[in-house]
């Protein structure tokens, strides 16, 4: 069976994650290497921390990355992999899993990304909201009234788009979207307006780190959030990664492109293990998703 491997992003963390991995020598090696890069014992927080502990900036993104990447290393021999992708943070996991970046380089970028995003969040009152039950064109029509103040951040699946922007702008846009027929609009418990122009300071900081990192040719194509297209070109992959924080995650478009390219079996690796599987099935009910 040929698989496209998908990796989840921030929000897929949970207390106790990593407990099932810690007994393996391979996992212990990666966690020890991570401790040197991060400067603290992240495995201890993953296993013994509560939800609030896991929401700490320095913990969340590295924890999700490590959980997914180590699981991938443990299970990749059982999968015939022909492509990779990931949702937001998960894209970096996909890049490392493909061999495009080394483990240390990937985790260093994740660490830099987390702190850069946190700093950007502190510069402006911003937030995100999930819009349910409304088509993309209708949502984009309302958002066009707000310019760069409120934008589409995640095209997760048909009928589910996340918007991102200033708190006041998202509140106003949310009401307008309800008025034209959105079934629900839910403000998300996030630190700021991810995948929007409000992340420009974080993007500039992360781009410096990306420029200082060497990208290799991956073993299989990576479908990226920025353009939803596959690539094995290190320059394109790094360039698209630079654009990610200030651009929408084209998840619906990515999955549709992968299905059009012949992928009918997906494997979601890491995190809670069902976030992306649910979205993929809503995008195309004919595909099968293996949860690892």
Global pTM reads 0.96
Q: How many CA atoms lie within 13 A of 55 on its CB side?
A: 6
Q: Cα separation of 277 and 32, whole Å? A: 30
* Distance from the first to the final alpha carbon of the chain: 15
Pair 289, 120: CB distance under 8 Å: no
Q: Express as a percent the part of the chain with pLDDT over 90.
A: 90
Tell me the sheet residues that pair with 155. Answer: 161
Q: Cα separation of 15 and 171, whole Å? A: 31
| pLDDT tens column, 32-80 | 999 999 999 999 999 999 998 998 878 999 999 999 999 999 999 999 9
pLDDT for the residue 273: 78
pLDDT for the residue 55: 85
Domains of the chain (ranges, CATH numbers): 2-121+197-291 (3.40.366.10), 126-187 (3.30.70.250)
Q: Cα separation of 159 and 235, whole Å? A: 34
pLDDT confidence tier of residue 81, bands split at 50, 70 and 90: very high
pLDDT confidence tier of residue 278, bands split at 50, 70 and 90: very high
Can you spell out the DSSP letters for the chain? -EEEEEE--TT---TTTTTTTTTSHHHHHHHHHHHHHHSS-HHHHHHH--HHHHTSHHHHHHHHHHHHHHHHHHHGGG-EEEEEEESTHHHHHHHHHTTSS-HHHHHHHHHHHHHHHHHHHTTS-EEEEEEES--HHHHHHHHGGGTTSEEEEEEEETTEEEEEEEHHHHHHHHHHHHHTT-SEEEE---SS-TTSGGGHHHHHHHHHHHHTS-----SS-EE-TTT--EE--HHHHHHHHHHGGGS-B-HHHHHHHHHHTT--EEEE-STTS-HHHHHHHHH-TTSEEEE-
pLDDT confidence tier of residue 288, bands split at 50, 70 and 90: very high
Most confidently modeled of 18-32, 181-195, 225-239?
225-239
Active site residues: 88, 195
User: Is residue 9 predicted with pLDDT exceeding 90?
Assistant: yes
């Amino acid at each position: 069976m040929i698989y496209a491997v998908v990796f989840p992003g921030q929000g897929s963390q949970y207390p106790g994650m990593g407990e099932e991995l810690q007994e393996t020598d391979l996992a212990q090696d990666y966690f020890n290497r991570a401790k040197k890069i991060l400067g603290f014992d992240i495995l201890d927080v993953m296993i013994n921390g509560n939800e609030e502990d896991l929401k700490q900036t320095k913990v969340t993104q590295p924890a999700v990355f490590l959980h997914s990447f180590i699981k991938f290393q443990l299970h990749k021999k059982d999968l015939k992999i022909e492509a990779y992708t990931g949702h937001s943070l998960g894209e970096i996991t996909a890049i490392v899993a493909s061999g495009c970046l080394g483990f240390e380089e990937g985790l260093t970028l994740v660490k830099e990304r987390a702190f850069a995003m946190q700093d950007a969040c502190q510069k402006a009152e911003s937030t995100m909201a999930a819009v349910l039950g409304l088509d993309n064109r209708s949502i984009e029509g309302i958002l066009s009234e707000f310019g760069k103040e409120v934008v589409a951040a995640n095209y997760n699946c048909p009928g589910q788009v996340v918007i991102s922007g200033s708190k006041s702008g998202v509140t106003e846009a949310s009401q307008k979207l309800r008025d034209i027929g959105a079934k629900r609009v839910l403000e998300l418990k996030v630190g700021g307006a991810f995948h929007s122009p409000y992340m420009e300071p974080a993007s500039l900081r992360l781009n410096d780190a990306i420029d200082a990192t060497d990208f290799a040719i991956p073993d299989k194509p990576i479908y990226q959030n920025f353009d939803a297209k596959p690539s094995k070109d290190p320059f394109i992959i790094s360039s698209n990664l630079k654009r990610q924080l200030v651009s929408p995650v084209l998840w619906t478009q990515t999955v549709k492109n992968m299905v059009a390219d012949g992928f009918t079996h997906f494997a979601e690796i890491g995190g809670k293990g069902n976030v992306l599987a649910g979205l993929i099935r809503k995008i195309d009910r004919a595909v099968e998703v293996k949860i690892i």
